[in-house]
Homo-oligomer: A and B are copies of this chain.
Amino acid sequence: MSSTIYDIAKKANVGIGTVSRVLNKHASVSKKTRKRVLQVISRLNYKPHPYAIGLARQRTNSILFTIPFFATFFFLEILRGIQKRLSDLDVSIILLGINHPDQIAETLRHNIHRHRVDGIVLCSMKIPDQLASNKLFKKIPMVLVDTYHKEFDSIAVNNVQGGYTATKHLLDLGHTKIAMLNANLRSVPAKDRFKGYQMAMIDAHKSLNEQLIQKTKSEYLDGFTRESGYEMMKELLKYGSERPTAVFAASDIQAYGALAAIAEMGLRCPKDIALIGFDDLELSGPLGLTSMLQPMSEMGTLTIDRLLERMNNHDLPLYHKTFEPTLIVRRTTLPLGKIIKSV
């Protein structure tokens, strides 16, 4: 049906080797023949068969994009950055959601063999040392995103700093009873943001009140869900007059749930409770939620650049890049007195 390299060779009166050389921009083809071949190629609207290339070159031109569970906004943004970079390169992405952290090594191994990927992007999951020492993972190029291990390239956000900045922002507004709505601590970002919260509180000589530190009960998505935020906020509001005056949510999506819980009790942000999230999702603007911005799309493109470099040269020195999140102040943490009308 489609034309092949043989058709091109015949029509252009050259050998298949020459056609291949033209396609791959090898130097040793005379200008004249190159032009002739290119003409035939465009006349027949010829496109090389990606699988044949993959088979012959012993590469699949595909990478494994691995995330915990399935699509949340954060990963979609990263993915968008990755796709932007990859669309020119004929590299395809195989999406892999990992259900349980214990299965990382086994699931990865299985999919590496099954899809014969050339490289791996691994998001937000703690890397067990046992995995790092496995020879299979020494051989295949891998870049970590939003997590860290000393033996692999990594692109991350400084979540500790972000947690610190967020908490500091609340402290600066004069709050002292500051609660945190956290996610499951097996999630690296959750743990780090919590660490930042603790550090900021300690630096400000505030006591860490266990009552104000909410832990998610949900397994699903590591607790990075609206429902989880809603539940935890409900808990905090049960304290009545003892309730916190400010809340740091480990993610915007949880903050959305918290907003709903607050509104349901007839309370207002920031008059009754100040609220800050993390991620700066698209809807945080319209909702007026203060948040910590992460350059997710940029992280995605950088990830691919790095992975491609490593695929080309396996012996590159390790690379670790950390982005600093930026505080975006909106209605939910306006200083009292400056409050504008809310939705």
Residues of A within 8 A of B (CB): 2, 45, 47, 49-52, 54-55, 60, 70-71, 76, 80, 83, 92, 94-95, 113-116, 226, 256-257, 259-260, 263-264, 266, 282-283, 286, 341-343
Q: Once the chains bind, are A116 and B49 in contact (CB under 8 Å)? A: yes
Complexed CA–CA distance, A314 and B94 (Å)? 28
Complexed CA–CA distance, A286 and B80 (Å)? 26
Chain B positions within 8 Å of A226 at CB level: 282, 286
Q: Once the chains bind, are B341 and A343 in contact (CB under 8 Å)? A: no
Q: A95-B83, A343-B343 are in contact. Are A116 and B2 (CB under 8 A)?
A: yes
Chain B positions within 8 Å of A342 at CB level: 263, 343
Q: Once the chains bind, are A341 and B263 in contact (CB under 8 Å)? A: yes
Q: Once the chains bind, are A55 and B47 in contact (CB under 8 Å)? A: no
Q: Once the chains bind, are A114 and B47 in contact (CB under 8 Å)? A: yes
Number of copies: 2
- With most chain B CB atoms within 10 A of its CB, the pick from A83, A264, A266, A283 is A283
Q: Once the chains bind, are B71 and A113 in contact (CB under 8 Å)? A: no
Complexed CA–CA distance, A111 and B76 (Å)? 23
Chain B positions within 8 Å of A76 at CB level: 71, 76
Q: Once the chains bind, are B60 and A71 in contact (CB under 8 Å)? A: no
Q: Once the chains bind, are A341 and B286 in contact (CB under 8 Å)? A: no
Q: Once the chains bind, are A343 and B259 in contact (CB under 8 Å)? A: yes
Complexed CA–CA distance, A104 and B58 (Å)? 34
Q: A113-B45, A286-B226 are in contact. Are A343 and B260 (CB under 8 A)?
A: yes
- What's the minimum C-beta distance from A54 to chain B, rounded to whole angstroms? 4
A70's nearest neighbour on chain B, judged by CB, is B80
Q: Once the chains bind, are A52 and B55 in contact (CB under 8 Å)? A: yes
- With most chain B CB atoms within 10 A of its CB, the pick from A49, A51, A115, A282 is A51
Q: Which 9 A-B pairs have the closest CB atoms?
A: A51-B51, A263-B343, A51-B54, A260-B286, A47-B113, A47-B114, A51-B55, A266-B341, A343-B343
Complexed CA–CA distance, A45 and B113 (Å)? 9
Partner of A264, one of B94, B257, B341: B341
- With most chain B CB atoms within 10 A of its CB, the pick from A114, A259, A343 is A343
Chain B positions within 8 Å of A94 at CB level: 92
Complexed CA–CA distance, A12 and B95 (Å)? 34
Partner of A60, one of B47, B51, B60, B114: B51
- What's the minimum C-beta distance from A324 to chain B, rounded to whole angstroms? 27
